[in-house]
């Protein structure tokens, strides 16, 4: 991964099967302070190539709001909890945001201050 400033806010995307308990995964990530917030989006259809074939499945998108300093621990924990062999783990940088929201995000992840 590219070098990010540790306190920099980032968004991580991952997907789970539509019938998976995405809320439980989201709660674990927030409880463990790896994420400030996780949005669980409604089921959708995903079409992708896997093992040489085009697949189609119902999935849920999770939008994970965190800080760059949490990316390593978040990815490790997600790999432990995620049922997929290769879970989606895409990191999007945040160009800007309200000072109050970004402050809350930073206070909500990592070791409590």
Q: Are 91 and 10 a contacting pair, CB within 8 Å?
A: yes
Encode the chain (113 residues) as per-residue pLDDT tens digits. Answer: 456 655 899 999 999 999 999 999 999 999 999 999 999 999 999 999 999 999 999 999 999 999 999 999 999 999 999 999 999 999 999 999 999 999 999 999 987 76
* pLDDT at position 54: 98
**Long-range residue pairs from 1-6, CB within 8 A, at least 24 positions apart, any chain:** 1/71, 1/91, 4/68, 4/71, 4/93, 5/68, 6/67, 6/68, 6/69
CATH topology classification for 9-108? Alpha-Beta Plaits (3.30.70)
* pLDDT at position 1: 47
The encoded tokens of residue 28 equal 């674990």
Read off the DSSP letter of residue 106.
H
């Amino acid at each position: 991964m590219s070098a990010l400033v540790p306190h920099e806010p980032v968004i991580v995307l991952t997907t789970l099967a539509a019938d998976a308990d995405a809320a439980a995964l989201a709660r674990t990530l927030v409880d463990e302070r790896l994420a400030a917030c996780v949005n669980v989006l409604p089921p959708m259809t995903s079409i992708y190539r896997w093992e040489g074939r085009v697949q189609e499945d119902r999935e849920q998108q999770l939008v994970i709001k965190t800080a760059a300093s949490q990316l390593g621990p978040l990815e490790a924990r997600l790999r432990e909890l995620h049922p997929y062999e290769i879970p989606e783990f895409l990191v999007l940088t945040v160009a800007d945001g309200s000072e109050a929201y970004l402050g809350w995000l930073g206070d909500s992840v990592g070791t409590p201050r």
